[in-house]
Chain A
Amino acid sequence: MTTQPPLALYIPQPSARPGDAARFDHIALDPGAAIVRPSFDAPEKEMRDHPYGLVRVLGQQDSAWDPGLDADTMRKGLRAMVQTRLFEDRLFRAHRQGKTSFFMKSTGEEAIGVAQSLALDAGDMCFPTYRVQGWLIARGYPIEQMINQIYSNANDPLKGRQLPILYSAREYGFYSLSGNVGSRFGHAVGWAMASAYKGDRKIALGYIGEGTTAEGDFHEALTFAAVYRAPVILAITNNQWAISSFSGVAGAEQTTFAAKALAYGIPGLRVDGNDFLAVWAATQWAAARARANLGATLIEFVTYRVSGHSTSDDPTKYRPADEAEHWPLGDPIERLKAHLIALGEWSDERHEQQQAELTEVLRSAQRAAEAVGTLGKSKPSVAEMFEGVFAEPDWRVIEQRRELGI
């Protein structure tokens, strides 16, 4: 008879549930091997410890990763992050006021979309998740248009066909979003392959959440990116939560998400995602590598989803209500602001003044969008429902449109 205990199925559990003290001691914060910034053309095999370290700049003494940005660029980043947060708070309230059906916030994650938007070139294309609205704001996409889309009103650039915030903005390097997670990750790779095929200079940036790295799409995209040395940056935003499932359900207890790169033989960087300068530096490094025909980089941005998954979610049901306050990497806006103040390039007064000014910009954009109408009060012509199924409508939509009497 065997003395071994019977098999037992392991189910991962987060460090804290509602009522428990919030804990993040499982998050490795030491720069480790990532204290070294390799040359952008370093062989992948020389940086295989990087996925276990953490690229950090803010709060570090003389970080090798400091991108050396001038104060104007940092102020521009700060402004876009603040505007993103104010925008999302305002539109979240608009949802609660019944002005739209759905909304999602990126609170605490603003550094990622904003820094990457500013660090990459105008011709580059990002394949976003729904939590990088900051990309559009940083590139000056008209706020009023964003709100028109969120309200699905008569001026909605997507003609009432898409859920709120699933924007498409080609001219701003922002690929069409969809509610399916992960299914655009491979498009970023294909787009990058096309740029290389044409001998252009544009690169792609694909985003995916840490939870979605469990999808086949993630692994397929990495396979193609590695095999064809596609000029693409593949970014995992690890915000610790996929709706109510903690990152351990996607494998975070076993290894880092950046370390997924090792099996594909491409560089993997694990980056402080709440550190505007670290996000910028890692993006710049990976972009230089991609533009030099050296292929893809996988970057894990370690961050925290401060808000619920969406307006349909209540995170106090599954995690401590005060968990965000214990997040060890702080708030990206406060950190960049403190850095600029320490440099003598910013002040609390200027910050408040800017906040008031941005609030006014948002208020007037919202007022303009609401003059067109909120959800249900105004909508594009119903004929738009039948447009764009194919390049040219076939008899089915022509007949059905007639049947509907329009």
Chain B
Amino acid sequence: MPTMNMIHAINSALDVMLARDPDVLIFGEDVGYFGGVFRVTEGLQAKHGLTRCFDAPISEGGIIATAIGMGAYGLRPVPEIQFADYILPAFDQLVSEAARLRYRSNGEFSAPITVRSPYGGGIFGGQTHSQSPEAIFAHITGLKTVIPSTPYDAKGLLIASIECDDPVIFLEPKRLYSGPFDGRHDQALKTWAGDPAADVPEGHYTVPLGKAAIVREGSDATVIAYGTMVHVAKAGIDQAGVDAELIDLRSIVPLDIDTIVASVAKTGRCVILHEASRFGGFGGELSALLQERCFWALKSPIERVAGWDTPYPHAFEWDYFPGPARLAKALTRVMENN
């Protein structure tokens, strides 16, 4: 099986779907001839043709509006928004139109679109190239939000998203594009080479939406993460020396409620880790769901380790980023309660 980094794996998913389904097409800023600012769509226009993968005007609202119209016609567009920070001009289209079309038309029209967008920090991108907006999409009834953490999952989840009949926000952890970054920014960069999750089949396969992965089994605490933070969590668990179970949600909507409830019921302790700001973040929803369902099993308050409630700061990136040391501290804290 070939080794692929996450860029290659996503490119492969798009390539497979363009070849398999004539109703799949890609458009977005710089995605055509050039192949995208992160090279994710490289070679797809040359291989599949101009109308299958083409450049769009700098108009996120226009990109999503036209994608919805194409979806209503019967196509399965896969628009790219260059950075998740730039998705906000399209927010009305996603909330008022894509998410509501099936419901309000009683199924006469729907928007089976997959909006790909790189998210997250750790690349010195400052306020406007670093944000993690997943919680605002999770709050919108009618949207699915998917976030892979490995090349294998990225390809399988993206194919599942494109084949899904609902609108999907597919957030790509850009810090993981070239390697499994674990938050230890002062150490040598790891690539995906040699990582089992970088063994990616060439052809078609899916990873189902709404099925979390238990990345590491453990008995003393549960750590819930997604995207870049899955790798940070591994490092943090090692640092704390706690026998923690690590769950990678893979998609926050649909949420694999059964897996997280079973784990927290077993361990009695839980730390939720995400890069987005803490207040109103998805960790709040997870925490509420778990206390509703596992309250009597809890030995310690559920902790959230997250970005601070500030904009994403340029010079203070590593002070903001919730790295392994902060997770280790939280894990140590929850282990003090019995």
Contacts and interface: CB of A to CB of B under 8 A. Distances in A.
Interface of A: 127, 157-159, 161-162, 166, 168-170, 175-176, 178, 180, 183-195, 197-198, 204, 216-217, 220-221, 223-224, 227, 388-391, 394-395
B106 A170 contact: no
Contacts of B105: 158, 168, 170, 176
Given A224-B59, A390-B142, A186 B69 contact: yes
B59 to A, nearest CB: 5
Which A-B residue pairs are the 5 nearest by beta carbons? A190-B69, A186-B65, A190-B66, A220-B62, A194-B73
Given A187-B97, A389-B141, A389-B142, A194 B75 contact: yes
A180 B210 CA distance: 31
Given A220-B65, A223-B59, A395-B257, A161 B70 contact: no
A223 B102 CA distance: 27
Contact of B69 (A168, A194, A389, A395): A194
A194 B51 CA distance: 10
Contact of A168 (B93, B108, B255): B108
Contacts of B104: 158, 161-162, 166, 168, 176, 178
B253 to A, nearest CB: 8
Contacts of B101: 176
A139 B1 CA distance: 57
A175 B109 contact: yes
B108 A170 contact: yes
Given A158-B104, A176-B108, A390-B144, A192 B254 contact: no
B106 A187 contact: no
B110 interface: yes
A223 B103 contact: no
Interface of B: 25, 51, 56-57, 59, 61-62, 65-75, 77, 89, 92-93, 96-97, 100-110, 141-142, 144, 164-166, 210, 253-255, 257
B262 to A, nearest CB: 14
A33 B74 CA distance: 41
Contacts of B75: 194, 197-198
Contacts of A162: 104
B254 A224 contact: no
11 contacts: A158-B105, A159-B106, A168-B105, A188-B69, A190-B73, A194-B74, A198-B75, A223-B62, A389-B102, A389-B103, A394-B253
Nearest to B104: A162
Contacts of A159: 106
B106 A168 contact: yes
Contacts of A178: 96-97, 100, 104
Contacts of B254: 394-395
B93 A186 contact: yes
B72 A187 contact: yes
Given A169-B108, A178-B104, A186-B69, 8 more contacts: A158-B106, A183-B93, A187-B68, A190-B73, A194-B73, A198-B73, A224-B57, A390-B142
Contacts of A194: 69-70, 73-75
A227 B104 CA distance: 31
Contacts of B100: 178
A158 B68 CA distance: 20
Nearest to A156: B106
A221 B64 CA distance: 11
A284 B271 CA distance: 64
Nearest to B144: A390
A170 B96 contact: no
A75 B297 CA distance: 75
A157 B107 CA distance: 10
A197 B97 CA distance: 22
Given A389-B141, A390-B166, A221 B65 contact: yes
A191 B77 CA distance: 11
A133 B210 CA distance: 41
A185 B69 CA distance: 9
A35 to B, nearest CB: 35
Contacts of B108: 168-170, 176
B55 to A, nearest CB: 9
Contacts of A170: 105, 108-109
A269 to B, nearest CB: 23
Contacts of B92: 180, 183
Q: Pick the most buried of B65, B69, B109, B253: most chain A CB atoms within 10 A of its CB.
A: B69
Contacts of A184: 97
A192 B142 contact: no
Contacts of B68: 186-187, 190
A186 B66 contact: yes
Contacts of B61: 186, 216-217, 220
Contact of B109 (A176, A186, A217, A395): A176
A176 B67 CA distance: 16
Given A183-B96, A185-B65, A197-B75, A223 B57 contact: yes
Nearest to B142: A389
A190 B109 contact: no
Given A168-B105, A176-B108, A189 B66 contact: yes
Contacts of A227: 57
A159 to B, nearest CB: 5
B252 to A, nearest CB: 12
A167 B118 CA distance: 37
A187 B51 CA distance: 18
A391 B97 contact: no
Contacts of B74: 194
A223 B48 CA distance: 25
Q: Pick the most buried of B92, B102, B108, B165: most chain A CB atoms within 10 A of its CB.
A: B108
B52 to A, nearest CB: 9
Contacts of A197: 25, 51, 70, 75
Contacts of B89: 216
